[in-house]
Amino acid sequence: MGEDKRYLHVGERTLFERSLAVLRSLFQNILVVIAQDSPPLQADVPVIRDLIPDCGSLGGLYTGLRQASTEHIFVVGCDMPFLNPQAVRYVIALKDNADIVMAQRKNGLQPMHALYGRRCLPVLEEMVRTHHLKIQDIVVNPSLNVRLIKEAELSRIDPEGRSFLNVNTPSDLEAARRLHARPIDPHSQ
């Protein structure tokens, strides 16, 4: 997009502020991971840089898991303006016996709105070592227990799929701003 997505506005708040507000309502410990070459981020939560450079989201996931004090972490991109607390809680509730809990929507897997356990670390290390950086490919590793959440299951909680919308292009940003201005249908909740 040519600009730092963290600081783009949807409504009165930036994408980062919107995500952080929802995460604060759900978690005691929040850790923000940024790329090594990212401009500094001023926040009142811990902010660390990727331990492994130039690995994109996979490097951020690895860093978050490595630095976390918990067995599982919930991972979300900073470009998701409509995180739904109920959808996040649902993902977390399915963590028993799972190394990964991830939504599978009609447009594909949602690796940046997912739960990952520490048992993913060796797999992530191997993916980095072999420069296999497509984060969603972690779900095919046979050593991990993966719980995929189908779209029909999710639609009971988030009928419009707002929690999974992300901003990658200027047209995505404009669509998010229009969606923000439109009230949520209470009958679709």
Domain spans in the chain, listed from the N-terminal domain onward: 5-174
Cite the DSSP H helix spans in 29-148: 56-67, 85-93, 121-129
Pairing of strands 146-150, 100-105: parallel
Read off φ and ψ for residue 33, nearest 5 degrees: -110, 130
Helix (H) / strand (E) containing 155 = helix 151-155
Torsion, Cα 136 141 146 151, to 10 degrees, reads 40
Domain 5-174: top CATH class: alpha beta
Torsion, Cα 116 120 123 127, to 10 degrees, reads 30
pLDDT at 189: 45
pLDDT at 187: 47
pLDDT digits (tens), the chain, 189 positions: 678 899 999 999 999 999 999 999 999 999 999 999 999 998 999 999 999 999 999 999 999 999 999 999 999 999 999 999 999 999 999 999 999 999 999 989 999 999 999 999 999 999 999 999 999 999 999 999 999 999 999 999 999 999 999 999 999 999 999 999 886 655 444
Place of tokens 């993902």: 91
pTM of the complete model: 0.92
